Structure 1
């Protein structure tokens, strides 16, 4: 702040120095004027000027220091009080802009909330005919037609489910219920949901669930596993997907391993980024780049760490590391 103040007042400082220099020059050239008394007077005036600068520094920079420390949360009550006419002009202009931005932010937030609620209501409305379609498909006798219809029904169901969880994600912490969850029924339920798709692609599942209980939220953990299984099935063909769970001295792990096309090493650090699809299969229009992003966000809220290992042409392994109880103190429910 001192450097800024000096830069702001540099013209005044230079003017003072030039005036004192001019006085000394005139005294030196005009022998009728005693030089030493003038030099002494200039010395005293410069000391007074430095003291004056220090006083003005404290007075003039207080407002701007507080303004510099003001947080950008549009809270005008925390703005500093002006002590000069120019500071008052600056503050009034800042208040006008801040109030306008705050009103605009409120309007945008209200509009987004309305759109979110409208979309959630629409998703729930669509689920009713989807349920009816499922019952109709179950009664279809033509097995080939039934398999095709189930596959298309599943695609719509998964898209709606992803959209629903995406809209709920910002308020996820309000929906958490942390409890002991049994892994086997949760995983089996997600496998059954993908059964028609897996039959169509000739994909099976192998379960090695040594650890059966984890401390987590069942609904959101099911969403995480659903996204990882969907990803594994999507990029696999005529092979088994391995699901393992095991414990060490501290944590519980769940691994999902497929033998699909794999992920390029240069993409591994970006697969959880919002909107990222792939650099090797960039023309794949079926990928939205949202599935793994939402998976990562849900895992962060549940304190689950996700790691991935992959080799192109050999497959991919996602590992979920579930937290211990003492790591859950901020959101624990039981």
Structure 2
């Protein structure tokens, strides 16, 4: 603070130094002024000036030190009261700007909350006609048309589902209901929903699951599996998708392996970034770059370690490492 004060008052110090220098120069030119008297005056003036600077330092820096301790979460009304006119003007403007910023933030948050509620309401309303459409599709006699329409229906359903969960993700801690969940049942439920798409792409699932029970939220686990299986089907070739489970050190491990085109090594570190799509999928309108991002966020909230290994042309393996029951209980405080 001393250095800042000296830099702030540098013009004063320079002006005082020039004045004292001028006095000594005049005493040198004018024989009637004794040099000793001039030096004595300069000495006294310097002492007086130093005391004046010290007084101004104590007086002025007290207010600015309070500004240093103030942060964006503090209320300007709680700041040290300004004493000088410029300080009062600054503090008044700061308080006005803070009040305006807080008002704007409240309005924006209210608008965002309204938009979120409206969007969630719209998504829920869309679910009803989609369910009716699915029932109508089941009654179609033309199996080829039925398969194609179910595929398109599934795409719409997945996009709406993704939008719904992306809005819920911000409040996932309030939405979680952790219970003992049958892993095999959760996996087969998601596979069943993808059946029409798999038939169209001539894909199958090679499933080897034990009767594993995991402590998690069944709804959010289903969402995570949906994003992973959707990607596996989307980028797979005609080979079956392998799903296996095992137990390591008391933790359940689920692996989902496809034999598709794989992921470019340079893209692998960014696959969990929001909105990221690899260069290979830029030409695909269906790629949103949100599936793995949302899956990773949800997995982190459930203490599931989600990792991916992939090699171009050889496929991709997604691994979900579930926490042991005692570990989940210790971390989540259940």
Q: Structure 1-normalised TM-score?
A: 0.90
Alignment match, 1:92: 92
The answer to whether the 8 Å contact 2:63/2:80 transfers is yes
CA–CA distance in structure 2, aligned partners of residues 103 and 317 of structure 1: 49
Trace 1:271-310 onto structure 2 (pairs within 5 A). 271-310=271-310
Structure 1 residues 22 and 154, CA, compared in 2 at 3 Å: closer, same or farther?
Answer: same
Gap regions ≥5 residues in structure 2: none
The answer to whether the 8 Å contact 1:178/1:332 transfers is no
The answer to whether the 8 Å contact 1:211/1:247 transfers is no
Q: Secondary structure at the match of 1:280?
A: helix
Structure 1 residues 226 and 79, CA, compared in 2 at 3 Å: closer, same or farther?
Answer: farther
Q: Does 1:7 align with 2:14?
A: no
Structure 1 residues 57 and 124, CA, compared in 2 at 3 Å: closer, same or farther?
Answer: same
Note the C-alpha offset of 1:284. 1.9
Structure 1 residues 47 and 258, CA, compared in 2 at 3 Å: closer, same or farther?
Answer: farther
Trace 1:1-334 onto structure 2 (pairs within 5 A). 1-36=1-36, 38-73=38-73, 75-210=75-210, 212-249=212-249, 251-324=251-324, 325-326=326-327, 329=330, 331-333=332-334
CA–CA distance in structure 1, aligned partners of residues 313 and 154 of structure 2: 27
1:38-67 CA-partner distances (Å, limit 9, x unpaired): 435534543443343344233323333333
The answer to whether the 8 Å contact 1:74/1:102 transfers is no
Gap regions ≥5 residues in structure 1: none
Structure 1 residues 109 and 37, CA, compared in 2 at 3 Å: closer, same or farther?
Answer: same
CA–CA distance in structure 2, aligned partners of residues 40 and 209 of structure 1: 98
- Alignment coverage as a number of residue pairs: 333
Note the C-alpha offset of 1:208. 3.0
1:132-185 CA-partner distances (Å, limit 9, x unpaired): 112222222332222122211111111110010011111111111223322111
The answer to whether the 8 Å contact 2:184/2:210 transfers is no
CA–CA distance in structure 1, aligned partners of residues 206 and 59 of structure 2: 74
- What RMSD over aligned residues (CA atoms) do the two structures have, in Å? 2.3
Bigger Cα displacement from structure 2, 175-184 vs 225-234 = 175-184
CA–CA distance in structure 1, aligned partners of residues 49 and 106 of structure 2: 50
The answer to whether the 8 Å contact 1:296/1:306 transfers is yes
